[in-house]
Structure 1
């Protein structure tokens, strides 16, 4: 094959020249572009065209063929072309001791050898996998046969493509059932072996994740449960219409009963079974919790059914059922009715007017407004409309108990830190600046631990007119000049230990948390031992405290001024105002605050960490992360 060079301004011009001079068509021309320049003032192109040599009429091309796996090569005659073989990647060809690749000319004088990519011997592989709970075992099996290859027969031609074909195949032996059981036994799998699966695995075929052993899953005993046939303890849910709007009037006295009504049914939990893993180890079930229920004289228990013996309001506390009377006031509570104080539940159809009070040993529902009044309930409080200049409490004595628990807990923590600080000062007090521990304690309380005095005084005010042991201790040890009487800082450890013990005692007497539901409040004090729900326009300059959560049901409800304080969570709508009224929103250190919109001078406090909003913001979430940093996620409004 010869090459001729053609020059021109463009490649197209070079091709035309070649076709004219060589007398061949464009479709038959074979060329290579050697140069192509497309300058502004000068263009140049150069191509190389392959020109077949004119063969002698007597010339014959060489040939090659594969017969019975052997390569047979015939040399060309006269000026004929040699035969060519095309070598694939999976065949190794060595010609005269040198490995060759791609397309190669061959003749019958060459020493040509062929090698194939073959494995040395057939192999098989078995893998056993076990689930983390040790209840199931799976097998994977794969077989790889040893194949011997030869060249595939190819008819005679000037150019042939080599291809391998299997001439002989040797398969590995199939795993027997006995071998499979031995493998399971080596892995100590002795229980729940599936015989049908073992047979399938011994078929000699590849197996993918075949379940071969299955234990027995443990089924724990179910706890005893109580099916309440009526709403108990104010746990009813707000009803929603098809548009998702909440009907807040639906809360009502839905737990009123009459004699003969079934209040609840106790269901004994189903018995479970012990489990067993594939190693034969027994898995013990968890025993269910047993419930022992009792009732007062106004109801009875028959065949695990609690049945009312008189009409009234049913409640359930401390695994005991009660039926209490319901006092209904069909008018406003005013000077005509006098103050209401009733051991049972109270239902006021009207409003509670200025200067009046309503106290209940159970729930209180006021259908209209509360105006400059005091509402106290041991149970839940529901106010249908608004509360103005009023005091509202749910949970009865629980509110005071919770306040005592919070104060004693914070005091014990601060006193423990105070003792540690005294120890550090004494360690480095080389100049004997302080003559006693009492002097150090007094200085620390007046500087770094000012909160101790404040908390002691708050506790004394809380328990006024009650003979409380901590009031005496605080006066003798921590207030004013009293710390100077302390000889050893470790004397304060007794206060810490007693405070912890008292906290435990107080927690034991807490009853079921009681909720407060209200539409709107203004300049009110509201405290609840459970949740507090604001389901209307919101609150204005009020102090609201919850031992669980505070939730504004409507996203556009306003919290403007005052303080919201909850133990676990606060969800509110619009906090503060464009005018910058100060509004404080607080939760405990593990609590979360969610807010739709907040304006400047809104303070978010989580534990003892605070953040003040400087610019109007939205979609706010405040919390303390695992690094003990206060995080306030927000977007600018």
Structure 2
């Protein structure tokens, strides 16, 4: 295109094939003007112009299209747990500009057209960038290639670590309840709610709790290449307090009661203990239910109608006992009065006498055999010292028929033990008794050795029998008793007013020595001693005092119509007696009092 010739024409400028063309103006005309635009830089005489500028054919004009290169950047983010790494791309395509051809114009505003320059993402740059960012494990190269192609605008997961394998928490499981529980039988139409409440209780040798130890987990590995430690598993605390010992059985730890009583656990300290005394802070009534424990028990209040308190240890009742029942293997102490109730202290050990007799037969045979063994050894030593004395040297008791007679007696005695019902005995005692069978019948050892091998087992059983017998020596101590029955394996002591219309029976002694210490109505019996301040009454209430043939009765005052029984001898008082002592002397009943001495055939 060429502009027309006109002397008075204005200067013109145009773009042709991307280059600026300029025509000078005619005489008196104004030069052409050019205006730069975005995307292009214009320099006139070496100076970059930013606004409208006149140009002529002689002007040195340079038009330089702007080119913006593509932009690619990466940011990497590792999660706080070091298990994941993400890449975030910032991708901006580039732009290349080109000046458009235009028609001649006195005032030429440059116009441009743009052409994009696509940004290219190199996956190797992502991989190298990840390594520089500290990602050294679990990098997914396929994910990196996919990112380079798709160029997502959101974060993309490119690396994953291996999480730590969690361990197993330790467990503490209790084999017995630690709180009161209510047991209601579903198969019974009528339920005795008094017996439905069970207090925490454990017997010696019983397992209270079982601890399963924690199992450690396995470490993982983070995307940074560092190990990820597993969370430390919970390890419940378990410590032995009083009345408890810890036993290791395989992987498990057992808390075993060494005494009977009330099991308790303190979660803060981890201490398991057995208190020999269960403390009941209140009355024993329908709200509490009957109380039963393998240890001892202390009741802060009263024991009301129809209720029962049982324990294998001692009992202490701070209040009164009314129309109730107290049963204990140990001692029973009631600080209040007792009305219309039954009290029994001491374990029934009559069944033990059978075992005691059977064991005594075994022990006797063992003693005989060991005596022969000792004699045999002594004679052998004498024979060795008396060299040349053939008569002494030939003596050997172990060949005698006497030894084998005693051994046969031992076998018979043991057989009698084996024939008894062992199920009522503790497991350790059963094992000891049955263990003697294999030892005594074993093929090895002579008679002495086999007999000696069971001595330890027999001694163990003897110790257990003596311990059980000791439980049968219990006392009852009360201040006042009325219309009640009291039994004690050892002593009954009435410390206050006395016993009215009650039956008292003691294995050793009954002592009613309080103030005034009256026994009126009912029967008092003891094996060795009855000691009362007053017996009977002026109203001639029928009162019976009974002791064994070897026992005696001591009384401050005995009223008429009081029956006195010592063994098979019996007498009834007709007059008031004071300062009385009664016993059997030479098979005659001797009554000593302030009035004198009376002997009777009974």
User: Which TM-score bucket, shorter chain as reference?
Assistant: 0.3 to 0.5
Tell me the TM-score normalised to structure 2 length.
Answer: 0.35
Q: Which protein shows a greater Rg?
A: 2
